[in-house]
Structure 1
Amino acid sequence: MFGISPLGWLHTLGSLPAIPLMFYMFARYGRIEPRSLAGVAYFFFMAVGGGTVFLVAHAPVSYGIGGATLVLLIAGFGVGFLPLGRLGRYAETIFLSLTAFLLMLPTVTEILRRVPDGHPFVTDLHSPLLLGAQGSLLVLLILGLSTQLFVLARQGKRAIR
């Protein structure tokens, strides 16, 4: 079904729970919160997805996205253990928001290239529909990250007063 191998299903189903976890944390905390139960689960599922991409990917760009996702994921969760103060929260927010973008970029691409089964919405990587969807994700990243950093800056100013 959908031309996905058994290992591809492991990759897909292993990383799929990260999507609702990501949306939950954005709605609940305004960011991916690594010190929450949802954040720990997000880390696990993203690590599964980022790690298994090397076993199922066919395009070189997939290896880059998988590697970048793993590096940003480890950096985003690891920066909280460094004595960086407010700067650490900014770095954590940037790194983990980028992991969300790198999760959604191939997700949207693969959905458009595989659904409906046998007659996908997109058959060409240069399709206007695909490029528009990817561009929309980039705009969401820029707006969302700008908002997150603005909110963090306001929280920091309130804490100083």
Structure 2
Amino acid sequence: MYGGISLIGWFHTVIGIAGIVSGLYLLFRFKFIDIWSRLGKFYLSCTFLASASSLFIYSATGSFNIAHLLSILTILAICVALILDKKNLLGFLTIYIKELALSATVLFSILPTTAEVLKRLPPDDPFVESIDDPLVIKFYITYLIVYSVFALYQIYIISKKSYHE
């Protein structure tokens, strides 16, 4: 343990931050996550590994919690996006579901990360004590609003045929 974080915790943290940063870059720069680009593959790999590794981390609460559920949702969203990329299972909705699932993975990753950062920093006097703190809730609400507006923007781009796979 270093800094109160296990080796798997550090792996999860480093790979998770790399995933979030690359995912945000892809969304801000290109509006979508191209899963076949080099950076898109990097993002999916980091996000999958961070989500999978979180399922082995129970030191924060001692049991399965909402962060684990978000990790499972992230893995499922990645799987759905990969399947829908190969198979047109939902007709015209396929591209919408695929892209919204991919952008949702960034949201699902950033929610528990924010809570963890606020619970750990600054080291001597963290900003919050729990995920129920009003500051954490304000971040969650802000992220949800931003994601909702961005998702509508993605839907608009796809519907206007301005989207190129």
3-state DSSP class of the match of 1:107? helix
- How far apart, CA to CA, are the structure 1 residues paired with 2:4 and 2:150? 33
1:115 aligns with 2:116: no
Is the helix fraction higher in 1 or 2? Answer: 1
3-state DSSP class of the match of 1:150? helix
1:13 aligns with 14
8 A Cα contact 2:54 2:68, kept in partner: yes
Aligned-residue offset at 1:126 = 2.3
8 A Cα contact 1:2 1:114, kept in partner: no
2:108 aligns with 102
1:79 aligns with 84
3-state DSSP class of the match of 1:3? coil
**Bigger mean CA deviation after superposition, 91-100 or 2-11:** 2-11
Segments of structure 1 that go 5 or more residues without pairing to the other structure are none
Among all aligned residue pairs of Structure 1 and Structure 2, give the percentage whose two residues are the same amino acid: 23
- How far apart, CA to CA, are the structure 1 residues paired with 2:48 and 2:94? 21
1:66 aligns with 71
Aligned CA-pair RMSD:
2.0
Q: 1:97-135, CA deviations, whole angstroms, 9 ceiling, x for partnerless residues? A: 111100110111111111111211011332211110111
Aligned-residue offset at 1:86 = 4.4
Aligned-residue offset at 1:50 = 0.8
Aligned-residue offset at 1:39 = 0.9
**Bigger mean CA deviation after superposition, 118-127 or 42-51:** 118-127
Paired residue type of 1:102: F
Give me the TM-score of the superposition, normalised by structure 1: 0.89
- How far apart, CA to CA, are the structure 2 residues paired with 1:124 and 1:23? 25
Distance 1:2 1:154, change over 3 A: farther
- How far apart, CA to CA, are the structure 1 residues paired with 2:53 and 2:131? 23
8 A Cα contact 1:32 1:93, kept in partner: yes
- How far apart, CA to CA, are the structure 2 residues paired with 1:86 and 1:130? 37
3-state DSSP class of the match of 2:56? helix
Question: 78, 87, 97: which is aligned to 1:91?
Answer: 97
1:25 aligns with 26
Q: 1:38-81, CA deviations, whole angstroms, 9 ceiling, x for partnerless residues? A: 11111110111011011113442222111111011111122110
Give me the TM-score of the superposition, normalised by structure 2: 0.87
- How far apart, CA to CA, are the structure 2 residues paired with 1:138 and 1:27? 16
Question: 125, 128, 132: which is aligned to 2:134?
Answer: 128
